[in-house]
A and B are shown apart, each in its own frame.
Chain A
Amino acid sequence: MSGITAYGAYIPRTRLLKSAIADANDWFDASLRGLAKGERSVCNWDEDTITMAVEAGQDCLSALGTADVNSLYLASTTLPFLDRQNSVVASQALNLGSSLRTMDVAASQRAATSALISMLEAGASARGNALLLASEHRRSKCGSRAEMLWGDGAAAIAVGNEDVIAEYLGSETYVTDFVDHYRGEDSTIDYEWEERWIRDEGYMKSVPLAVSRLLEKTGVKASEIAHFVLASDQARTPAAVAKAIGIAADAVADNHIGGIGVTGVAHPVLLLTSVLEKAKAGDLILLTGFGQGTDAVLLRATDAIAGKRPKTGFGGALARRREDTNYNKFLSFNNLVDREVGKRGELDKQSYLAAMYRRKDLLTGFIGGKCRSCGTVQIPKEKYCVNPECGALDSQDDHPMAKAKGRVMTWTADRLTFDWNPPAYFGLVEFEGGGRLMMDFTEVEPGGMDTGVEVSLHFRIRQFDNQRGFRKYFWKATPVQQ
C-alpha cells in the first residue's frame, strides 16, 4: 500500500491583526474594512520560503522517525533563488544526506498538489519515503485585498509504502490555461483579474470537472467524502463548489482565512495536514489544487493515522502565535518600504561562496564535531580539539546538533548593532551533551530571555547581501517556553 506516511506544519508565529491593515489603508479603499476580521500569519524578517520549508520538514520528520528519505520536492512560487536549487538547501538543512533526488516545483498554485501526485504515482516502486515541502512567502501590494487575505506558511507530507496513514486511491488533473492571476519574470507581485469571474469560470467549472473524473475512476460517491480540501482566498467558494459536486457541507475543510490567511502553494498541503490531524480511520479525503486547472487526489485514512502525530502539527503551529498590530513592521519585513536602516546597516555583507561552501556543514546542517579521543563535543568543528586536556589533531567526527537542546549562559538585548528587528538578542548557548556557541536569538518576547532559558534551534536567514542579491542562512536559538 502506498500513500502518506507522515505530515508536518509550520506557521510563522507573528499574526498581524487585519484590523491594523485596515486602519492603515481604509482611507483609500473602504472595502478593506469588510475583510478586517481576524489575523494573518507573517514571516519574521529572517524567515523565507526555505526556512519555513525546513521547519515543516523537521516537524514531519519528527513523526517519520529515522526512515530513509529518497527524494525531496520543494513546491512554491516564492522561492528565494531563481537559479540555485532551493530544495537542495532545504535537504542539507534537514541533513538528508547527499544521495537523494531533489527538485523545485513552481509556477502554479497547484505546484504542491502536482508534485504530490507525482510522488504518489512513483511511490509504489520507490523504497523509503519521498518528502514534499510546500512553502510560500507571498508579497502583495500595500493596501491590497491580497494583503488582507494571504498569509505565510509551510507544510510537509511524506509519501511511502510502509506505515501508511492515508492510502492513495487515485488522482486526476484537469488542465486549462485559465489566467486568474500571473506574475511575469520581472515582477515580485501578482496581477489579478476579477474575483467573480475567477469563481464562476474558474473554481466552479474546473474543480468539479477534475473531481467528477476522479470519483468516477475510483468508484467513490461525492457524499462519501469526509474531508474536502479546496484552498481559496474566496471565503464562500469552497462550500459552493462542494455543494455543486454533492459533497456534504460539513466535509469542507476550513480555509483558516481569518487565522492564517491563504498561504498560496502551501495552502492545500497545510489544510491537508489540518485534516489528517483530525481524520479517523476509514475517512475519505479529497484534496484539490486549483491553478490553471485542477489537481484532485483521493486518500483514505488508515488505522495508523491516530498513532502517528508530528511534534507540532497544524494545531500546534496554529496555537503558537504572537499577536501584532504593527503594520509598518510588516511592510518593512516584506521590503515594501524604503526603510532608513542607519549607517550601521550600510555595511557591505559580501558573499564568499568558496568559504561558505567549505563551511556548509556548519552553516546549513549545524554539524559540529565530537572528539574520538576525549568525547568532547564542539561547534564549529576545528582542526584541534577544544578540550585543553586533549587538544587532539583531526580527531573530530561529524556531530549533527540541529536537534540539540540548549541553555542560555549569557545574553543581551543589543540596541546598537544593526538588526532588522531591534533589539538584537544574542548570547552564549550551551548544548545538552556538550558544545557551546555564541548565537543570534530569534522570536524572543520581551522578558522571555534570561540565563538558564532553554532554547531550540532554527534555520533562519542571517544576512542579506543586497548588493549581490544573495541571502545567507544560519541557525538561531529560540526560547522553548514563551
Chain B
Amino acid sequence: MASGIKDKVVILGMGCSKFGERWDMSPADLMSEAFEEGLADAGIEKGQIQMAWFGAGIDASNVGSSAMPLSIALRLPNIPVTKVENMCATGTEAFRGAVYAVASGACDIALALGVEKLKDVGYGGLPQRTRGVENDMYWPNLSAPGAFAQLASGYRAKYGIEKADLKRAMAHISVKSHANGAKNPKAHLQREITEEQAINAPYIAEPIGLYDCCGVSDGAACAIVCTPEIARALGKADLVSVKALQLAASNGEEAGFSKWDGSYLQTTRVAAQNAYNEAGISKPREEIDMTEVHDCFSITELVTMEDLQLSDDGQAVWDVLNGDFDADGRIPCQIDGGLKCFGHPIGASGMRMIYENYLQFHGRAGERQLKNPRLALNHNLGGFPHQNICSISIIGRYE
C-alpha cells in the first residue's frame, strides 16, 4: 500500500523571476534569474544539485524540445535532466518529478524549474498552434478563452444563474486578484481595477471579457528540494514540506459520454479528493488556509471553488460575491495576484504558485502576508474543460 508523498520531501529554496513583458530577456535569462534566487535561498552550490526536471509548455514558440535548454542555460554539470510537458500543469509536473526523485532516494537534492517565453510570438493570448494531426482534423479551432467560456454556459444552465449575477461574480474575482497583485512586485499587472471596468470590457469569448482573462507574459520559477533530514543537516529550520501531489487526466468521457454537463471540471474533482486523502485532509474548508488556483479565466476560478469542495455546488457564485475568497475572506485565493496578474507562462505557473505558498509560510510575503498560514493548495488545469489535465499540490509547514 502506497503511503503517499506527505512530509517526505521539503523545499530547500525557491526562486521566481519577475513576470511580465520581458522583451530584453531570453528564456535562458529568465531561467537564471529564477535559479540564482533559488540557489541563494537554498544556500547550496550548483554542484550539489544531482538531478533536474525542466518544465516548458509550448515547444515550437519557446525553448524547443529536450532537457538541454535548461542544462545549457544553467551550465549544469552533465546531471540527469528530464523535460516534462503536461500543458498548463507543466510547472507542477516538473516539481512532481523532482520531489518523487528525492522521495525515492534516487538523489539527495533535485531541481525543478519551469519557464515560458510567451511574448516572443508576436501577439496577445496563447499562440495559435496545431494540436496534432488527428485532433486538427475535426476539433474546433478554439482559443483558450473560447474553451473556458463554455463553463459559463454550462454552469448557468445547470443552476439557473442569471447572466448578470454570474458576470458580476466573475468581475469580483478579477477585481480581487488585481487588488492582490497590486501588492506584489513580481506580478506582471500591478494595478487595481473596478467591477465596472471588468463588466463593461469587450468580449473575448462570450461571456468572457478582457478582464476575465489572465495576462500573457514571460516568466520562470524554480524549487530546490531534498529530504527533511538533509535540509536540517544543511542548517535549515522552519521547513516547508510537500503534503500531496496529484494529477488527473481526462479519458475523453466528459467530451464523449453523456454524464458531464459542462458546469465543472471532472479531473479537478478527482485530483482534489486524491490530494486531500494523500495529505490527510478531511475538512478542506477548515484546514486549507490559502489557495492558488488556475484562474486562466475568472469563470475557471469560480467553478474550481466547487470542484475543490471549498464551496457547495451551485453556491460559488454567491460565495465569491460574499468575499469568501478575498484577501480577508475565509480562504484567500490568489493572494499573490494569480494568473490574472502574473500572466500564464505555462511552464512556470505551477511553480510560481508554490513559490507564493513558500513565501507565506516563511512570513516573507510583504504587504500581502497572511496571518500564520499552515496549509496551501495549488491547482493547475491544462487543456480545456471538456478534455484536460489537472494537477494539485498541497504544501504546508513541516510539523
Contact surface of A with B, Cβ cutoff 8 Å: 342-344, 346-347, 349-350, 352, 355-356, 359, 362-363, 376, 378-380, 382, 386-388, 409-419, 423-424, 426-428, 430, 434-440, 450-452, 462-463, 472, 474
Residue of B nearest to A345 (CB): B128
Bound Cα distance A422, B261 (Å):
26
Cβ of B274 under 8 Å from chain A: no
Q: Determine the chain B residues whose CB is within 8 A of the CB of A427 once the complex forms.
A: 150, 153
Residue from B145, B151, B258 in contact with A414 in the complex, judged by beta carbons closer than 8 Å: B145
Is A426's CB under 8 angstroms from B257's CB? Answer: no
Closest B-chain residue to A409, C-beta based? B262
* 1/0 contact string of B126-161 vs chain A (CB within 8 Å): 001110011011111111011101111110110000
Q: Can you give 8 A-B contacts (C-beta < 8 A)?
A: A356-B137, A362-B137, A378-B256, A410-B151, A410-B154, A412-B206, A416-B204, A416-B205
Question: A411 CA to B154 CA in the complex, in Å?
Answer: 8
Instruction: Give the tally of cross-chain contacts (CB within 8 A).
Output: 141
Are the CB atoms of A388 and B257 closer together than 8 Å?
yes
| Interface residue from A352, A355, A386, A418 paired with B128 (Cβ < 8 Å) | A418
**What's the minimum C-beta distance from A425 to chain B, rounded to whole angstroms?**
9
B23: which A residues are within 8 A, CB to CB?
A: none
B123 adjacent to A387 (CB under 8 Å): no
Given A352-B133, A426-B142; A410-B257 close (CB under 8 Å) = no
**CB-based contact A414/B138 at 8 Å:** no
Residues on B with C-beta less than 8 A from A424 are: 140-142, 146
- Contacting B157 at CB < 8 Å: which of A362, A380, A451, A462? A451
Q: Report how far A386 CA is from B136 CA in the complex, Å.
A: 21
Given the complex of chains A and B, what is the CA–CA distance between A362 and B255 in angstroms? 16
The answer, yes or no, to whether B203 is at the interface (CB within 8 Å) is yes
Interface residues of B in 40-68 (CB under 8 A from A): none
Select from chain B the residue with minimum beta-carbon distance to A344.
B128
Kindly name the residue among B122, B123, B156, B262 whose own CB sees the greatest number of chain A CB atoms within 10 A: B262
Given A418-B141, A437-B255, decide whether A411 and B150 contact each other with a Cβ distance below 8 A: yes
State A349–B205 Cα separation when bound (angstroms): 23
B386 contacts A by Cβ under 8 Å = yes
Residues B89-145 near A (CB distance < 8 A):
121-123, 125, 128-130, 133-134, 136-143, 145
Q: List residues of chain A with CB within 8 A of the CB of B153.
A: 409-412, 427, 450-451
Q: Report whether B252 and A386 are in contact in the complex, using a CB–CB cutoff of 8 Å.
A: yes
Q: Does B312 contact A (CB under 8 A)?
A: no
Instruction: Tell me if A387 and B257 are in contact (CB < 8 A).
Output: yes
Decide: A414 and B262 in contact? CB cutoff 8 A. Answer: no
Contact B253 A386 (CB under 8 A): yes
Q: Which of B137, B156, B202 contacts A355 (CB 8 A)?
A: B137
A413/B157 in contact, CB under 8 A:
no
Q: Is the CB of B137 within 8 A of A413?
A: no
Shortest distance from the beta carbon of B201 to any chain A beta carbon, whole Å:
12
Instruction: List residues 368-397 of chain B with CB under 8 A from any CB of chain A.
Output: 384-387
- Complex alpha-carbon distance, A474 and B137, angstroms: 8
B252 contact set on A, CB distance < 8 A: 382, 386
| Known pairs A410-B151, A437-B255; A416 contacts B125 (CB<8 A) | yes
Q: A386-B257, A438-B255, A474-B137 are in contact. Are A412 and B149 (CB under 8 A)?
A: yes
Q: Are A413 and B257 in contact, with the CB atoms below 8 A?
A: no
Report the minimum CB–CB distance from B388 to chain A (whole Å): 12
Chain A residues near B257 (CB-CB < 8 A): 376, 378, 386-388, 436
From known contacts A415-B205, A418-B141, infer whether A436 and B255 are also in contact, taking CB-CB under 8 Å. yes
Cα distance, A470 to B101, chains bound together (Å): 48
* B386 partner residues in chain A, CB cutoff 8 A: 410, 428, 438
Q: Is the CB of B137 within 8 A of A414?
A: no
- Shortest distance from the beta carbon of A344 to any chain B beta carbon, whole Å: 4
CB-defined contacts of A437 to chain B, threshold 8 Å: 255-256
Would you call A412 and B150 a contact (CB within 8 A)?
yes
Bound together, the chains give a CA A387 to CA B253 distance in angstroms of 7
Nearest CB in chain B to that of A388: its residue:
B253
Q: Contact: A426 with B145, CB < 8 Å? A: no
Q: Is there contact, CB below 8 Å, between A410 and B262? A: yes
With both chains docked as a complex, state the minimum distance between the C-beta of A191 and any C-beta of chain B, in angstroms. 37
- Chain B residues, CB < 8 A from A415: 202-205
Contact (Cβ within 8 A) B143 A416:
yes
Which residues of B sit under 8 angstroms from A438, Cβ to Cβ? 139-140, 142, 255, 384, 386-387
Q: Which of B123, B130, B205 contacts A413 (CB 8 A)?
A: B205
Docked-complex contact B137 and A417, CB < 8 angstroms: no
